[in-house]
A and B are shown apart, each in its own frame.
Chain A
């Protein structure tokens, strides 16, 4: 049987003004127009969104979980990037 299935799309929804688009799931659609409409019908039935992004799943690049140690752990030791690293004398405010 020849492959007739529509491509898979990942859906990102902005739930309200000022917030980031957030991944909510995926769906099937033949083209981008349809993907947006399907995302509206599937993922915003209860007013969950005010803006939609869709991207074909094939076009999404993800980091490799086996690289997680080298990608993310080095940041853990850089505690000086966080304000709590520093001592501020008592009596100082607005800092």
Chain B
């Protein structure tokens, strides 16, 4: 192999990125780029998997057969998306089981939104509409991410997710146009999920330690605050259209610049939930750990059987 020094490799690497040439698994990449990707993609994967739980909570109580099938399909898609993303981290040399162990030990993070409980059926609407809406806003730019396997996984995820937000908004619309009890249920769900949805875009740019480097590497294309603003711009009119009120007394449309201005996020709550002190952090991680532990004997049996089958074949 030719002797190229690191700075030359880094220069070539950045040149590729600047020219929008995708980085692929076996290509040379700075260790920090690899680690940043592993952290971000696995965090994203964990969010999909933990995100199955709050919605899974309502599958057996869905109000009719159509809603039940849709919710099942949606939660299943999240499992699929988690899997696509774990696959992408595996291309970086991060073994899935170890990645998952980091989630279970609390070392790895996932989206704080999933630490809020789903208390009523309307929460299925609010999650689809707001949480998937926010996720899509985060994810669409990732389809152009510099790392090939991540970008390709995101193309697939975004294509599949397009129905998720629609089904959520459909649930909300149905409730908002329904009986007074249903409308109250919808408004209550919006009240509880609005602020956590805004928090999904992460800390404000001033406090975000990873943003600048990630933007330079084209792992990230927009800052947290840009995406959050964009989310508010599109979501507020949707709430108005179906007759629901966004729970922010400071929210107003600035006629002069054509943008919405909104109130301050409760960052104390945000950091508490990230640290593990949200209403459901413990339940969510316990459920994931339990699934892994309860599945251990199954995975072992399948390995043992595969070995026997292979031995019989070669015998």
Contact = CB atoms under 8 A, between A and B. Distances in A.
Contacts of A46: 160
A4 B95 CA distance: 12
A74 B305 CA distance: 49
Interface string A5-43: 110100000000000000011111011001000000010
Given A4-B296, A5-B97, A65-B27, A31 B83 contact: no
Contact of B90 (A8, A24, A66): A8
A24 to B, nearest CB: 8
A45 B97 CA distance: 24
Contacts, number: 54
B120 interface: no
B41 to A, nearest CB: 13
B56 to A, nearest CB: 17
Interface residue range, chain A? 10 to 19
Contact of A25 (B28, B84, B96): B84
Contact of B26 (A25, A30, A34, A64): A64
Interface string A60-91: 00101110000000000000000000000000
B299 interface: yes
B87 A4 contact: no
B188 interface: no
A52 to B, nearest CB: 15
A45 B95 CA distance: 25
Contact of A4 (B77, B299, B305): B299
A27 B302 contact: no
Interface in B1-45: 1-2, 24, 26-28
A65 B83 CA distance: 26
B238 interface: no
Given A25-B153, A27-B87, A42-B80, A34 B302 contact: yes
Interface string B202-239: 00000000000000000000000000000000000000
A6 B80 contact: no
B160 A31 contact: no
A6 B309 CA distance: 15
Contacts of A8: 90
A39 to B, nearest CB: 11
B303 interface: yes
A73 B305 CA distance: 47
21 contacts: A4-B299, A5-B95, A5-B97, A6-B303, A24-B156, A25-B83, A26-B90, A27-B83, A28-B96, A30-B299, A30-B305, A31-B302, A31-B305, A31-B309, A34-B302, A42-B83, A45-B80, A46-B160, A64-B26, A65-B24, A65-B26
Q: What 6 pairs between A and B have smallest CB-CB spacing?
A: A30-B302, A31-B306, A30-B306, A26-B87, A5-B97, A25-B87
Interface of A: 4-6, 8, 24-28, 30-31, 34, 42, 45-46, 62, 64-66
Given A27-B83, A28-B96, 9 more contacts: A5-B95, A24-B156, A25-B152, A25-B156, A30-B299, A30-B305, A31-B305, A45-B80, A65-B24
